[in-house]
């Protein structure tokens, strides 16, 4: 099955600092999605990356897909308290099945 490692598991930052979470796969991926779950909430879709080396930005969030399509990252510039939550990567392997398997997630705490 699809093996993916998401690091770090937890991250505490001071408001205004940057934050990055990484998602690493042992196999080549077809695409990867990122989700955010606020405390007590449900996962919310952020973005999908498909192309090798792809970079997409959403305001202070920057998403990257590795050249080999085996890893991805989410970078948040100048964190705010509203960024608190757990960020999940959800990679899809080359078998192109319909199901999405979520990584373990990175929980971000932001101190004001």
Partner 1 sequence: DAGVIQSPRHEVTEMGQEVTLRCKPISGHNSLFWYRQTMMRGLELLIYFNNNVPIDDSGMPEDRFSAKMPNASFSTLKIQPSEPRDSAVYFCASSFSGSRGSARYGYTFGSGTRLTVV
96, β-bridge pairs:
none
Q: Is 84 in the site for partner 1 (CB under 8 A)?
A: no
> To the nearest whole angstrom, how small is the minimum distance from the Cβ of residue 104 to partner 1?
5
Scan residues 37-56 and list those touching partner 1 (CB under 8 A).
41-48
Task: Write the DSSP assignment of 29-88 as a string of letters.
Answer: EEEEEEEEE-TTS--EEEEEE-STT-EEEETTEEEEE-TTSSEEEEEESS--GGG-EEEE
Among the residue ranges 19-27, 52-60, 64-72, 89-97, the one whose residues contact partner 1 (CB under 8 A)? 89-97
Residue among 9, 16, 21, 31 nearest 74 (CA): 21
Interface with partner 1, residue 92, by CB under 8 A: yes
Query: Shortest gap between Cβ of 64 and partner 1 (angstroms)?
Result: 18
Task: Examine residue 59 and tell whether it contacts partner 1 (CB under 8 A).
Answer: no
User: Which residues contribute to the site for partner 1 (CB under 8 A)?
Assistant: 30, 33, 35, 41-48, 88, 92, 96-102, 104-105
């Amino acid at each position: 099955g699809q093996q993916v490692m998401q690091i770090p598991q937890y991250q505490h930052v001071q408001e205004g600092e940057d934050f990055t979470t990484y998602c690493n796969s042992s196999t080549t991926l077809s695409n990867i999605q990122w989700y955010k779950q606020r405390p007590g909430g449900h996962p919310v879709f952020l973005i999908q990356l498909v192309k090798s080396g792809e970079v997409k930005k959403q305001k202070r969030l920057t998403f990257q897909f590795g050249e080999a399509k085996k890893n991805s990252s989410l970078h948040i510039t100048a964190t705010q308290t509203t960024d608190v939550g757990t960020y999940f990567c959800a990679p899809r392997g080359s078998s192109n099945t319909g199901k999405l398997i979520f990584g373990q997630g990175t929980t971000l705490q932001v101190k004001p």
